[in-house]
Amino acid sequence: MTGTTLDDYTDRYARRVRGMTASEIRALFAVASRPEVVSLAGGAPYIAALPLDAVGEMLGRLGSEHGVTTLQYGIGQGTLELRERICEVMSLSGIDAACGASPEDVVVTVGGQQALDLVARLFLDPGDVVLAEGPTYVGALGVFQAAQAQVVHVPMDADGLIPEALETAIADLARAGQRVKFLYTIPTYQNPTGVTLSEERRERVLDICERAGLLVVEDDPYGQLGFEGEAPAPLRARRRDGVFYLSTFSKTFAPGLRVGWILAPHAVRDKLVIASEAQILCPSGFAQAAVATYLSTMPWRQQLKVYREVYRERRDALLDAMADLMPEGTSWTTPAGGLFVWASLPDGLDSKAMMPRAVAARVAYVPGTGFYADGTGTDAMRLNFSFPPPERIREGVRRLAGVMEQEIAMRRVFGAVGGAAGRRGRAGSDVPGPDLA
């Protein structure tokens, strides 16, 4: 025997398991949930803003008065009632019957994460390429990794995905003989940067993908959480062919219910349902009834306004604290909606290496490396503003700025620690830098 392992099953796993790694965000949860730690790490919505008494009564009635149906098995596609309500929700963003949105083409999923997984199961073979913004949602990277696909990042700037860079990536991959299956994008209030793809670029990105025969997977969890006027219309509101629209009620109602959906091209719907049935048999009837009843009987549009006001105040608290306290050389995005700010660090700082010292100072964030498939992004971090109250946000920034100042001071004394591996240059790079401040 040449070595030992704590896992006696290592040589029995399927090949797809060998590259699986833990999410950097999930690994932080145990620490970030401690009461003494100010967590700017997760993306948890502020559930206390809901009318919890009314929601609790509604849930009780669903069990006591309608339990015979809500606690029973259901159909794989999801209930017609909920799919009809979902179409009402999408119509607020311009995705309506005029552009081909129908309850018949909606598939209810267990949150947005299952929606991503279903698309990957249908379209990705091992070795296929997915194009995605750099940086991008860490949960999507996990799904694509499990599908044994390769993620190639496309650079962003203050206006979102750069169309010229998308064209270049497609051409380079074609010359290399690699098979690109789709573009995965979060065009509105993107996770992790908070950046929104501009109106003009939306049409260009769609045109580029159409010419290349590339599917588009549009992930839109945050589109209804804008603080500064209406967001640009989703990509799916502009084109129906070749665009998969994914969303969830996790950010606008309750993540604990785990209800999301896919609006798919009609020809694909049945395959999505078959794939979902193979995974979960059917989505939770109780969770579906809870969301459908909430949308039918409660003032959910007014609740969206409440969330927007709460998150606007907290975003402003974070941005004001960063402007007041962050060391020179730090830059950050100014999101018009969503839950996140992306910060680029002063030269020489490494967000991943700095994390243990930040936790010791009782503040948590997510290192930028979690949002890149290739491990780069050490010179950036994601900060969440949706959950802590404004005064805690400011205290968290104060603690974080103190850690960064100490890191800068140590660098002055001892010089660079480690190398530049994992970093990306800022000007014209994959990491939004000072031009996004």
pLDDT tens by residue, the chain, 437 residues: 455 567 777 777 777 776 566 665 666 666 667 788 999 998 899 999 999 999 999 999 999 999 999 999 999 999 999 999 999 999 999 999 999 999 999 999 999 999 999 999 999 999 999 999 999 999 999 999 999 999 999 999 999 999 999 999 999 999 999 989 999 999 999 999 999 999 999 999 999 999 999 999 999 999 999 998 889 999 999 999 999 999 999 999 999 999 999 999 988 999 999 999 999 999 999 999 999 999 999 999 999 999 999 999 999 999 999 999 999 999 999 999 999 999 999 999 999 999 999 999 999 999 999 999 998 999 999 999 999 999 999 999 999 999 999 999 988 887 765 444 455 534 333 444 433 43
* Same domain as 381, residue 356: yes
What is the predicted pLDDT for the residue at 66?
A: 95
What is the predicted pLDDT for the residue at 5?
A: 61
What is the domain extent for residue 34?
18-50+302-411
Please give the single-letter amino acid code of residue 160.
Answer: G
* Same domain as 275, residue 327: no
What is the predicted pLDDT for the residue at 432?
A: 45
Please give the single-letter amino acid code of residue 341.
Answer: V
Q: Identify whether the C-beta of residue 244 lies closer than 8 Å to the C-beta of residue 265.
A: yes
Residues 6+ apart with CB under 8 A from 145: 19, 20, 21, 151, 373
**The pair of three-digit structure tokens given for residue 417, joined into one six-digit string:** 């620690």
**The pair of three-digit structure tokens given for residue 427, joined into one six-digit string:** 């000007």
Residue 7 is assigned to a structural domain of this protein = no
Half-sphere exposure of 348 (CA within 13 A, CB side): 17
Query: How buried is 281 (Cβ within 10 angstroms: 0-12 exposed, 13-18 middle, 19+ buried)?
Result: exposed
* Same domain as 312, residue 284: no
Closest CA to 185 of 238, 132, 224: 132
196 vs 386: CA distance, rounded Å: 18
Locate all alpha helices (DSSP H) within 21-178, ordered by sequence.
24-32, 52-64, 67-70, 80-91, 111-123, 138-146, 163-175
Q: Quick one: CA torsion of 349, 352, 357, 359, rounded to 10 degrees?
A: 140
Which pTM does this prediction carry?
A: 0.91
What is the predicted pLDDT for the residue at 154?
A: 98
User: Of 263, 281, 297, which residue is a domain's last?
Assistant: 297
* Same domain as 129, residue 72: yes
* Same domain as 263, residue 311: no
What is the predicted pLDDT for the residue at 20?
A: 64
Kindly report the CATH number assigned to the domain that includes residue 310: 3.90.1150.10
Residues 6+ apart with CB under 8 A from 136: 151, 153, 184, 186, 190, 191, 192, 371, 372
What is the predicted pLDDT for the residue at 424?
A: 52
User: Of 297, 332, 363, which residue is a domain's last?
Assistant: 297
- What 3-state DSSP class applies to 165? helix
Q: In degrees, to the nearest 5, what angle opens at C-alpha 26 toward C-alphas 24 and 28?
A: 75
Total domains present in the chain: 2
What is the predicted pLDDT for the residue at 11?
A: 76
